[in-house]
Structure 1
């Protein structure tokens, strides 16, 4: 039992030495921090000239205004050509009927999707 008490007192003495050492380390000032703060306080930025922006900043110029589109001189003939080129509803229906006979592409895929699903047979 006496060896236990002796070891406990040794640990207590060592702990008090460590505690004393660590408390003095906190109170010491950091040399690097002092140098850093001194240099920051001594720093004086260079004076900037009043015309420092010249040559660096580009001057702004508005883009040129676009011209308004001019109407064609023969508007009636151009409208008639457009109407002749545009398919009518009857032409569209007629074209759809011919593609359904030999359906292929998107129309065939859409008609496949619209079909009813086959009924699943129950396994006994």
Structure 2
């Protein structure tokens, strides 16, 4: 079967080689058969774009949109008398040190045990 197909293909190749090369390439022009339909929306859009004339900008157009710039007032310098009074008040303050009682009071330091659990009442346990 394979031999028959090979013999047939050889014969067809031999015939093709002996035939004169009359077949030539031809140029063909393929033209579309559909007619271009006008796009009405696109045509209207392009017509309006061509007809649009922007209004020229005026110098007075920005007046209502932009705030006028005014320099801020210079800060007032602090008076030296106030600085002196504040410095004296700071120097007269007594610093608070942890673990010391404020001056003028004699309070005993009470040691608190934060990890001690509160004792439960026996009466409360009896009712449960």
TM bucket by the smaller chain? 0.3 to 0.5
TM-score (norm: length of structure 2): 0.43
TM-score (norm: length of structure 1): 0.44
**Higher alpha-carbon Rg:** 2
Higher helix share: 1
